[in-house]
Homo-oligomer: A and B are copies of this chain.
Amino acid sequence: MGTTQPETVPEPKYWHLKTVLSEALDRDFAVGEVLPNERELAARFGVARATLRQALEQLELEGRLQRRRGVGTTVAPPRVGVAVGGARQGWPGEGADGWEAVDAAEALPPAAVVGLLGDAAEQPVHTVRRTRVTHGQSVAAELLYVPTDSVPGLSAIDAPAGPARARAVLRELQRLTLEGQDRSVELGSARADDAKELDRLPGAPVLVVTTRYFTAAGTAAVSVATYRADTCRLTFGDSGVEIAHEDRAAS
């Protein structure tokens, strides 16, 4: 004796906890319902609060929970599908797609964007801020970078600051002929400014969608849009058919 069972590797407590909680959510809770607070949940499961939090964090990452300081933890609604446009689309701001221009300014682009714009030399760009609202909640914050020489028709002090100026830049952009675009999606964490716009804490997980817009003259604009990863599912419909997620695909 002395030897116990072969004992498969012990599953971490937080992982097991997550599973248990996940099943409890499916079974006993409705969307929007408030969970018991963390201290009580931890006590109920006989673990430290930090361990319980590790499980909650995972569930929030998967979009099943929503936690707000001072309020509590609630059961999240299913993720909303936001169309990002897979096939040839159009300039930003064309059509009513939920985007709202917020502001615009002229500045030098950050290093990360310079590479995407192609030409090595730093040239000033119009920086347009937009926000995307779907189903009453803001799901994305975007920074659009438009080199000033892409839109020569726009003099620097053409419009006053604010939404009007942002829309002016978009209007000029739409006068150009769009030759193509490409997109990439990656995981990031929200910068402080984006986090504020998205009503999340800094560092919250976001899906970063980077889009380059091409004209015959080269890259005319670059858009960096950050979507709330907890509440959004990005859709790239080539067929126009909406995906009807009845359940969650992620584990």
- The 6 A-B pairs of least Cβ separation, nearest first, read A188-B250, A115-B246, A180-B239, A191-B251, A112-B247, A187-B229
Whether the pair B186, A250 counts as a contact (CB closer than 8 A) is yes
Question: What distance in Å separates the Cβ of A46 from its nearest Cβ neighbour in chain B?
Answer: 21
Residues of B within 8 A of A247 (CB): 111-112, 115
Residues of B within 8 A of A79 (CB): 186
Interface residues on A, range: 35 or more
Whether a CB of chain B sits under 8 angstroms from the CB of A91 is: no
Whether the pair A182, B243 counts as a contact (CB closer than 8 A) is yes
Return the CB mask of A82-121 against B: 1 if under 8 Å, else 0.
0000111000000000000000000000011111100000
| Docked complex: A126-172 residues within 8 A CB-CB of B | none
Residues of A that sit less than 8 Å from B by CB: 15, 18, 58, 61-63, 79, 81, 86-88, 111-116, 179-191, 194, 202-203, 205-208, 210, 212, 214, 224, 229-230, 232-241, 243-251
Contact sample, A vs B, 22 pairs, CB 8 Å cutoff = A15-B202, A61-B187, A62-B187, A62-B189, A86-B182, A87-B88, A87-B238, A112-B245, A115-B247, A116-B243, A116-B244, A116-B246, A116-B249, A181-B238, A185-B236, A186-B232, A186-B250, A187-B207, A191-B251, A208-B250, A214-B241, A236-B236
Whether the pair A238, B182 counts as a contact (CB closer than 8 A) is yes
Oligomeric state, in copies: 2
Contact of A180 among B194, B206, B241 (CB under 8 A): B241
Whether the pair B239, A182 counts as a contact (CB closer than 8 A) is yes
Residues of B within 8 A of A114 (CB): 246
Question: What distance in Å separates the Cβ of A234 from its nearest Cβ neighbour in chain B?
Answer: 5
A63–B116 Cα distance when bound, in Å, is 19
